[in-house]
Structure 1
């Protein structure tokens, strides 16, 4: 199945993309190209705009100051506030990231936090010390990250804060709450955070697409996993062939590739291993950055469904036209009818963020088209059967690109 034009012209056709694909055997080339086409690429602008909006929306629900911290690597046995406090000035802000570290999202999120504090100095606090939290009577602690993968980094960071007796006391008296806020996160990572003693509230802008959630036929999914397993053994990180924690994340940021993605995409170079990663040591090169769209593009539901079912005519007919329900709603019904039960997969298929996808799914449930467990109802199947025949619609509207456009859909159908 050919990839959509908007994908085919990007990563697979960059210089580095072609070099990466050249390492695969001829019989694996199409599958490797499909793997690239399934990635969700998040640009700098899309990342910062969405995460800033999420932080402001959540902070608006809280009466009082909100402390912002960029999530960073730390030892869970450390007392974060005690170790990083300034002995000369107990009210000095803490460092957003460790000095001399190999920094990625921490720097970008740290800059975002500084901008938010400048916009709303009375609402947001920039990496406040323990004394500043006490003085300003902060009502919430926001741990900000780009991606919650396995949940290890965020949980260890929260645990290091939890060592402070003051923080524990404020939390037990319901004077302060913890929030883990990220652009995206996996189900397993989010569940890990929910088990912490401080019971943080988790907010993400978009569910993380993983290769496990892709709306593919089982044999396609098995082939992609086998591909990552086989070629991942040639990388410098064979133990994370499917990504850290076997997450198989399919989300790539312009500021870096998460290590939860398959190792063939990011494993660093070494003398013993000849594999050339697409994102060496998780870095996105300038030439590849051109492949990142300013916003997440909507997926083509017809293309997705054609890959999902053996005989897609009945299902794709429901999404090839423009029924009263709308393309997005009908695409969701068609995907669920084809066996998709994951909200993350539905979000990937539509290209919508978590809020928009949730509204779409909840609307289908409210109308009686889907059950709360995401199974299509008899009413939903009736809507799919009532969708117009795509073959007849092609007779009414001329193809895109004609020099003259005459609205034949206003004429009586032939």
Structure 2
């Protein structure tokens, strides 16, 4: 089966500079931090509902076969039993009731789980003989189900997944099937850190000893579109990742646990239907005393941001206001700094963002596309704003001419 290409959305410099809402959010940062805040925004990856639905359908189609039935469940956080008398212990959490039926799902909205429930319903209707929608233990036994697909949009630490599996295993019938090796669990999430796999396997019930006939690690398989190592930040955030980490850590109005996201995952994946709490807290955290205004309050993408993301590049309204970044870029080009890497170093951003910034200047007729020189309009703006350009002087004390360097 040919895989469909997935296109994730991102915020270009043009879109960032043309948003009054983003401008208001940026005003909370000091002047010397704003270029980093913009850089952070440009590194976020947005997954639309259609992209997520397409990927999920594709992932499930690659698992199912013609001979077996598969049970589909949406992973969600489960509440503990408040009637438990043993106050000194954490009460067990159950997925199955005494009658073998899944526990009743709350009537209120559950955020990301709402979309997953809807997609499961559509998938099972289209594959009635193969896929089962949150079946009971009785239905599982009747259909001799051995394959279980647990669906989440994104995994951070893995705690929610391991808690969910343990809640299923708290029923003796399901636990016996698990112990006998009759169960194969597929954990499907669009994105996850590689470290979450070990955390999930470690925390769920059972043994993973090499002498066990059915090791628990052999009964779980992980499937994701994006898998990353938590501490390899450069791939997600670019070569200036350390500056972005410091930017987040220095926002003292955000609680320490949330500054790099829950579990310090520092993820950059955001869904149209849900904003994970493992992305930087300065994006979504709302202070109770309103000391910090989030860009995505309530961990939800506001409608204006969705509209902004969906605007084609050639239809972005040209902003008459020139940002300080563009002014600094014009100054560098006027001084003869035209190489993308050199521009990135002087602006304190990574090369990818500098390239986008340069293209933005070209698209707005400030810089020529070939020789990268200022256009007449760019020169006019430069001369009008030169008194306000505050680009730091470049320190040449550590400069080493390329002619001195020995080839490696």
With normalisation by structure 1, the TM-score equals 0.63
Q: 1:41 — aligned with what?
A: 46
8 Å Cα contact 2:70/2:145 also seen in 1: yes
- Report deviation, 1:208: 5.1
Which of 228, 233, 248 is 1:228 aligned to? 248
Which of 89, 96, 113 is 1:81 aligned to? 96
Residues 26/156 of structure 1: CA separation in 2 closer, same or farther (3 Å cut): same
Which of 144, 156, 164 is 1:149 aligned to? 156
Distance in 1 between the 2:198 and 2:145 partners? 26
Q: 1:323 — aligned with what?
A: none
Corresponding residue SS for 2:64: helix
- Report deviation, 1:10: 3.3
Computing the radius of gyration over CA atoms, which structure comes out larger, 1 or 2?
2
Which of 285, 303, 309 is 1:286 aligned to? 303
Q: 1:103 — aligned with what?
A: 110
| Alignment of 1:8 onto 2:2 | no
Corresponding residue SS for 2:240: helix
Q: 1:120-135, aligned counterparts within 5 Å? A: 120-135=127-142
Residues 112/219 of structure 1: CA separation in 2 closer, same or farther (3 Å cut): closer
Distance in 2 between the 1:279 and 1:22 partners? 15
| Alignment of 1:203 onto 2:223 | yes
| Alignment of 1:57 onto 2:62 | yes
8 Å Cα contact 1:117/1:126 also seen in 2: yes
| Structure 2: gaps of 5 or more residues | 1-8, 81-90, 207-215, 313-339, 356-369, 372-408
Cα offsets for 1:333-352 (capped at 9, x unmatched): xxxxxxxxxxxxxxxxxxxx
Residues 308/206 of structure 1: CA separation in 2 closer, same or farther (3 Å cut): farther
| Alignment of 1:252 onto 2:259 | no
- Report deviation, 1:94: 5.4
Distance in 2 between the 1:70 and 1:219 partners? 36
Which of 59, 68, 75 is 1:71 aligned to? 75
With normalisation by structure 2, the TM-score equals 0.64
8 Å Cα contact 1:79/1:160 also seen in 2: yes
Distance in 2 between the 1:35 and 1:46 partners? 23
| Alignment of 1:276 onto 2:284 | no
- Report deviation, 1:268: 2.4
- Report deviation, 1:293: 5.3
Distance in 1 between the 2:16 and 2:230 partners? 18
Corresponding residue SS for 2:224: strand
Residues 211/63 of structure 1: CA separation in 2 closer, same or farther (3 Å cut): same
Cα offsets for 1:376-407 (capped at 9, x unmatched): xxxxxxxxxxxxxxxxxx89xxxxxxxxxxxx
8 Å Cα contact 1:209/1:249 also seen in 2: no
Distance in 2 between the 1:192 and 1:186 partners? 10
Corresponding residue SS for 1:242: coil
Corresponding residue SS for 2:294: coil
8 Å Cα contact 1:179/1:203 also seen in 2: yes
Distance in 1 between the 2:237 and 2:306 partners? 31
| Structure 1: gaps of 5 or more residues | 296-304, 321-393, 396-414
- Report deviation, 1:187: 1.8
Cα offsets for 1:222-256 (capped at 9, x unmatched): 2211110111x213x34321110011111111112
- Report deviation, 1:291: 3.8
| Alignment of 1:136 onto 2:151 | no
Residues 129/94 of structure 1: CA separation in 2 closer, same or farther (3 Å cut): farther
Distance in 2 between the 1:216 and 1:98 partners? 35
Residues 16/170 of structure 1: CA separation in 2 closer, same or farther (3 Å cut): same
Distance in 2 between the 1:31 and 1:211 partners? 20
The count of corresponding residues between Structure 1 and Structure 2 is 291
Distance in 1 between the 2:192 and 2:270 partners? 12
Corresponding residue SS for 1:81: coil
Larger mean CA deviation between 107-116 and 181-190 belongs to: 181-190
Residues 292/309 of structure 1: CA separation in 2 closer, same or farther (3 Å cut): closer
